[in-house]
Structure 1
Amino acid sequence: MSFCRPDLRWSGTRSVAGMNFRSRCCASWACSSPTSCGGGNRMELFQLTAADGKVVRGDRLPGVERTILFITGFLSKRWGNKSKALAQWCEARGWGFCCFDFRGWGDADGTWGDYRLLQWLEDAEAVTEQLAAGPSITIVGNSLGGWLAWLVAQEQPAVEELILIAPAFNMMGVRAADIPAERRARWQATGSMPWDDEPMHCEAPIPWTWVEDSEELWQRRLAPPRRVKTTILHGLQDSVIKPEGSWAFVQHVLSQDPQFPIELLLKTGDHRLSSPEHLGIFRRLVCREI
Structure 2
Amino acid sequence: MSDSIYKSGLRDLAYNQTEGDGPGVVFLGGFRSDKEGTKAIFLEDWARRRRRAFLRFDYSGHGQSSGDFLDGSIGDWYEDAVAIIEAMTEGPQVLVGSSMGGWISLLVARDRPDLVRGLVTIAAAPDFTEDGMWAEFDADQKAEMERLGRVELPSDYSEGPYVITRHLIEEGRKRLVLRDPLLLPIPTRFLQGTADPDVELSVAHRLLEHATGGDIRLTLVKGADHRFSDPDCLALIAAAVDDVTARGAGASA
Q: Same fold (TM over 0.5)?
A: yes
1:48 aligns with 2:7: yes
1:281 aligns with 2:236: yes
Give the Cα separation in 1 of the matches to 2:237 and 2:157. 30
Question: For 1:222, what is the secondary structure of its paired residue?
Answer: coil
- 1:68 offset after TM fit, Å? 0.5
Question: For 2:176, what is the secondary structure of its paired residue?
Answer: helix
Equivalent residues in 2 for 1:107-256 (5 A)? 107-132=64-89, 134-156=90-112, 157-174=114-131, 175-196=133-154, 200=158, 202=160, 204-218=162-176, 221-223=179-181, 225-254=183-212
- 1:135 offset after TM fit, Å? 4.3
Give the Cα separation in 1 of the matches to 2:69 and 2:36. 18
Q: Is the 8 A contact 2:95 2:118 kept in 1?
A: yes
Equivalent residues in 2 for 1:18-97 (5 A)? 31-32=1-2, 45-50=4-9, 53-97=10-54
- 1:167 offset after TM fit, Å? 0.4
Q: Is the 8 A contact 1:233 1:264 kept in 2?
A: yes
Change (3 A) 1:288 1:220: closer
Q: Is the 8 A contact 2:14 2:57 kept in 1?
A: yes
- 1:219 offset after TM fit, Å? 5.4
Question: For 1:120, what is the secondary structure of its paired residue?
Answer: helix
- 1:115 offset after TM fit, Å? 1.9
Q: Is the 8 A contact 1:68 1:139 kept in 2?
A: yes
Map Cα deviations across residues 150-207 of structure 1 (whole Å, 9 max, x no partner).
Answer: 1011222121101000001101111210232322332233111233255836355121
Q: Is the 8 A contact 1:253 1:260 kept in 2?
A: no
| Runs of 5+ unmatched residues, structure 2 | 247-253
Question: For 1:218, what is the secondary structure of its paired residue?
Answer: coil
Change (3 A) 1:266 1:79: same
Q: Is the 8 A contact 2:29 2:99 kept in 1?
A: yes
Question: For 1:285, what is the secondary structure of its paired residue?
Answer: helix
Aligned residues: 242
Q: Which of 1 and 2 has higher RCO (CA within 8 Å, sep 6+)?
A: 2
TM-score (normalised: structure 2): 0.87
**Backbone CA RMSD of aligned residues:** 2.2
Question: For 1:200, what is the secondary structure of its paired residue?
Answer: coil
Of residues 240, 253, 263 in structure 1, which corresponds to 2:217? 263
Change (3 A) 1:172 1:115: same
Give the share of equivalent positions with the same residue, in percent.
25
Change (3 A) 1:262 1:197: closer
Question: For 1:273, what is the secondary structure of its paired residue?
Answer: coil
Question: For 1:280, what is the secondary structure of its paired residue?
Answer: helix
Aligned partner letter, 1:47: Y
| Runs of 5+ unmatched residues, structure 1 | 1-30, 34-44
